[in-house]
Amino acid sequence: MEENLNCIYRVINFMEKNYDQPVSVKELEEISNYSYRNIQRIFKYSCGETIGAFQQRLKVENAYKRILYTQENLTTIAIEVGFANIASFSKAFKQHFGISPKAARLGKELLLCEDEIVPLTSDVLLEPEIVFIKPMQVYYQSVKTYYNNDEIEVLWENFMQNDFPGSGTEYFGIIADEPLIKMEINCRYDACSSTQSANKKLPSKTIFGGKYARFTHTGSYETIDETYTKIYSRWIFNSGLEFSHSPIIEKYEKHIEQEDNQEEQLTYILLPLK
């Protein structure tokens, strides 16, 4: 566990030294020894923020030190900490501290910076099933968003307006992370059905085909992040398995409409393995 946590500390140290520079996916993979998809999620669920959010915070906090202790003009500070221009710097600074860089300089206010980031691991070690799943054709609609966004719920509302058979139809969500270092974990999310719609011809593609670690999440979709936290801040360190670059797939095994019975809901989270 200690050795695996070191991968996160290596990323933290690298970002602290290079916060003002563009950071590539290849660099993150080489430093952490994990794929981009996995190190982004490990960092998010262990540290409470994405790598992109951490870098943004380092930029504005280092800029604030320069505002307080140097006579450099704000445009120079913005460029030196890695912003493209004064406008993007001012926006990020105000979002983080609640006041503009100009107001911070004029008032010499002692703004609160966040504590040093410390990775945390989950106390719960999940035990997934290792399953082999044959390729399957699905029919889908997509949205580009970040995971757990309301846009995914809207996508499903629209998707379910299609005419699918009442029995024998299986539903899946495919989460294909975008390889960009951003404030949120961006993804292309596909709402999928195992059968074609009777009233609209949906595009199709093949999913699965290989080995997966299958985790079980019971309860509301609103709490599914808790299961991901257990996966990416504990299980992944102990598994000793090699992960594929294929997307994560959620299988909605049992959907419950009534809010009072959400604890009966059942979702499988399938992580692809090599």
The distance in angstroms from the start CA to the end CA of the chain is 22
Categorise residue 33: left if φ over 0, alpha if ψ from -120 to 50, beta otherwise.
left
CA distance linking residue 157 with residue 136, whole number of Å: 23
CA distance linking residue 96 with residue 151, whole number of Å: 25
CA separation (Å) from 271 to 119, 141, 265?
A: 22, 21, 20
pLDDT at 115: 77
Reported as a pLDDT band with limits 50, 70 and 90, residue 270 is very high
Residue 2 has pLDDT above 70, yes or no: no
Residue-wise pLDDT for 76-134, tens only, equals: 999 999 999 999 999 999 999 999 999 998 887 677 677 788 888 899 999 999 999 99
CA distance linking residue 180 with residue 147, whole number of Å: 14
Residue 138 has pLDDT above 70, yes or no: yes
Residue 3 has pLDDT above 70, yes or no: no
Of 22, 13, 20, the residue nearest 81 (C-alpha): 20
CA separation (Å) from 208 to 121, 128, 137, 151, 165?
A: 29, 17, 9, 25, 22
Q: Which residues contact 117 (CB under 8 A, 6 or more apart)?
A: 12, 47, 48, 49, 54
Q: Which domains does the chain have, with CATH numbers?
A: 2-107 (1.10.10.60), 129-273 (3.20.80.10)
Of 195, 192, 210, the residue nearest 133 (C-alpha): 210
